[in-house]
């Protein structure tokens, strides 16, 4: 558990350090020729890297003396040489002595770092005793492609690696759950006492935060790939994203952590929005993608004040309600939340729902410009009053939208693939239910609204749609909560039918205003929010 005691240990461990991090950003160079490697080194420097890891095992042909001399001489950055064998996840499948000789030669020619595996570390370090330049640092590494062991096991592993004489220890474990990363953070915090720097990495999408938050938890360096597609480890971010999307250089020991909890989550634009706005207003926070399988386990593990606020996405909006110590009355009525803050006064989790405000406001704005903007009943002051409002889906977002529409005086129909779930939600909010297959059979009437709250049509399945194009002609306005892509097939076909469409991006921006204010205690810079999203759409 990454508790407040761990946070306190971190503060002790970093006492006397600069407020901003000194964690290095390393770009792996994995080209197949020396010439390409030299070119990529220049690109890495231009993108802001501190050093490069030269992966010798990726070279198709390799002349030790000649090629190493060129790589060291022409590299514009400090060099880290690794020659990873297949038995440790690399490409090299040749003679071991030949491999280690190449690393020793790289040392002799002026390498700044060499990376050797724990299995051969003691032998390698003994072989360079008395010859090792003072400036050279030996990184001893260990990869686990099966799992992330217990804290005790990782601690014992790190101790064994330190005992080899390592200058720096590197552990990379496979994260089967995002909570696995917490064990790496704990070891990173406590390893600072030993004075042997640690590189702790979580492999896989669930381990992404290990790379982003390495600076916060005292990691010696982190890795960012040169460009998409040049990955040396699963789900490694690009150096551009590390530095510019996550504001890596500004992350320090007291930076507050925020993120979007969802599954899937990589499509979310929330990190682009919040991180850019955080930086613009000078707020010390970082916002990350959090691929969460079990939300209750997530909150039990990341329980310190460092983890300060979260957006909640599909499929966790209902389950998140049960994780909160307190829930806003409106969110309780809806039965789903999309925002959680950890209250600074007592560390309690407080849940809210900002979805319905963002979505309903966006739809009402869309109706203002619609060719059919007259509600059947305007006594409520909303253009939704008296209209038939059809919601596709029966999850947390559906509940929020149905609640908001009902509050504005609309008549509700809930359509879902599973009729029983549609019926359950319809009974709660006061409306009718039908299966998704029966949706095209609704008798048409003036001013009908259709709102999709499911993931049907979201990247990568952009050719999917919840309803036929022919059936869309019955509606006055169609809303899609999906915003990746901004124009889904549902919205495109509705527009082709002459129907007013409202993108999920409008809902996203609307609900984000309130979340930002809850996260930071600052007023939301609305014009900046919209500008950021337009730039990234």
Active site residues per annotation: 317
**HSE-up of 352 (CA within 13 Å, CB side)?**
20
Copy the structure tokens of residue 34.
């020396």
- What is the spatial distance between Cα 80 and Cα 113, in angstroms, rounded to a whole number? 4
- Tokens 């050719």, located at residue: 463
Extract the runs of DSSP E, i.e. beta strands, from 353-395. Answer: 388-392
- What is the spatial distance between Cα 348 and Cα 341, in angstroms, rounded to a whole number? 8
Return the exposure string of 223-257: e unless at least 16 CB atoms fall within 10 Å of the residue's CB, then b. bbbbeeeebbbbbbbbbebbbbbbbbebbbbebbb
Contact 55, 106 (CB under 8 A): no
Give the CA dihedral 259, 278, 309, 185, nearest 10 degrees. 60
ω into 460 cis (within 30 of 0) = yes
Please give the full DSSP string across 116-146, using - where no structure is assigned.
EEHHHHHHHHHHTTTT--TT-EEEEEEEESS
Return the exposure string of 419-450: e unless at least 16 CB atoms fall within 10 Å of the residue's CB, then b. bebbbebbebbebebbebeebeebeeeebbbb
- Tokens 């390498």, located at residue: 111
CA 316 to chain centre: 15
- What is the spatial distance between Cα 393 and Cα 421, in angstroms, rounded to a whole number? 9
Q: How far apart are the first and last CA of the chain?
A: 37
DSSP class of residue 418 equals S
Q: What share of the chain is helix, strand, coil (3-state, %, to 5)?
A: 40, 20, 40
Mapped onto helix, strand or coil, the DSSP state of residue 532 is helix
Query: What does the chain come to in residues?
Result: 537
Question: Which secondary structure element, helix H or strand E, spans residue 332, and what is its range?
Answer: helix 329-334
């Amino acid at each position: 558990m990454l508790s407040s005691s761990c946070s306190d240990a971190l503060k002790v461990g970093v006492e006397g350090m600069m407020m901003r991090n000194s964690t290095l950003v390393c770009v792996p160079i994995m080209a197949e020729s020396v010439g390409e490697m030299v070119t990529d080194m220049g690109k890495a420097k231009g993108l802001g890297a501190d050093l490069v890891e030269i992966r010798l095992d990726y070279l198709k042909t390799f002349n030790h003396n000649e090629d190493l001399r060129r790589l060291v001489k022409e590299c514009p950055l400090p060099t880290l040489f690794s020659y990873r064998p297949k038995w440790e996840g690399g490409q090299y499948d040749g003679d071991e002595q030949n491999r280690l000789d190449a690393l020793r030669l790289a040392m002799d020619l002026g390498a700044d770092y060499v990376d050797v595996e724990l299995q051969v570390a003691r032998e390698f370090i003994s072989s360079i005793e008395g010859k090792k330049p003072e400036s050279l640092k030996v990184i001893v590494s260990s990869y686990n492609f099966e799992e992330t062991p217990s804290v005790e096991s990782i601690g014992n592993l790190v101790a064994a690696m330190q005992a080899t004489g390592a200058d720096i220890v590197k552990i990379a474990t496979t994260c089967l759950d995002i909570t696995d990363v917490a064990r790496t953070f704990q070891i990173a915090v406590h390893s600072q006492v030993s004075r042997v720097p640690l590189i702790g990495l979580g492999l896989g999408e669930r381990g992404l935060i290990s790379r982003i938050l390495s600076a916060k938890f005292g990691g010696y360096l982190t890795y960012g790939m040169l460009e998409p597609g040049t990955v040396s480890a699963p789900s490694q971010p690009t150096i551009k994203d590390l530095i510019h999307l996550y504001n890596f250089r500004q992350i320090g020991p007291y930076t507050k952590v925020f993120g979007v909890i969802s599954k899937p989550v990589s499509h979310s634009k929330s990190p682009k929005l919040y991180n850019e706005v955080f930086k613009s207003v000078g707020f010390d926070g970082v916002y990350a993608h959090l691929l969460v399988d079990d939300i209750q386990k997530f909150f039990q593990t990341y329980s310190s004040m460092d983890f300060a606020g979260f957006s909640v996405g599909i499929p966790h909006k209902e389950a998140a309600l049960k994780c909160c110590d307190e829930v806003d009355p409106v969110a309780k009525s809806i039965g789903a939340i999309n925002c959680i803050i950890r209250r600074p006064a007592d560390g309690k989790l407080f849940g809210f729902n900002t979805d319905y405000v963002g979505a309903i406001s966006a739809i009402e704005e869309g109706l203002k410009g619609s060719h059919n903007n007259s509600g059947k009943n305007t006594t409520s002051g909303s253009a939704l009053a008296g209209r038939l409002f059809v919601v596709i889906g029966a999850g947390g977002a559906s509940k929020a939208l149905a609640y908001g529409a009902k509050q504005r005086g609309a008549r509700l129909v809930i359509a879902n693939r599973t009729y029983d779930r549609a019926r359950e939600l319809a009974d709660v909010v006061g409306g009718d239910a039908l299966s998704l297959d029966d949706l095209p059979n609704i008798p048409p009437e003036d001013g009908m609204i259709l709102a999709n709250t499911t993931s049907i049509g979201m990247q990568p399945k952009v050719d999917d749609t919840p309803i036929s194009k022919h059936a869309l002609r019955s509606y006055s306005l169609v809303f899609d909560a999906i915003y990746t892509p901004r124009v889904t097939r549902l919205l495109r076909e509705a527009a082709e039918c002459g129907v007013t469409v409202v993108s999920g991006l409008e809902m996203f921006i609307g609900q984000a205003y309130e979340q930002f204010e809850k996260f930071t205690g600052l007023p939301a810079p609305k014009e900046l929010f919209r500008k950021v999203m337009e730039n990234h759409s």
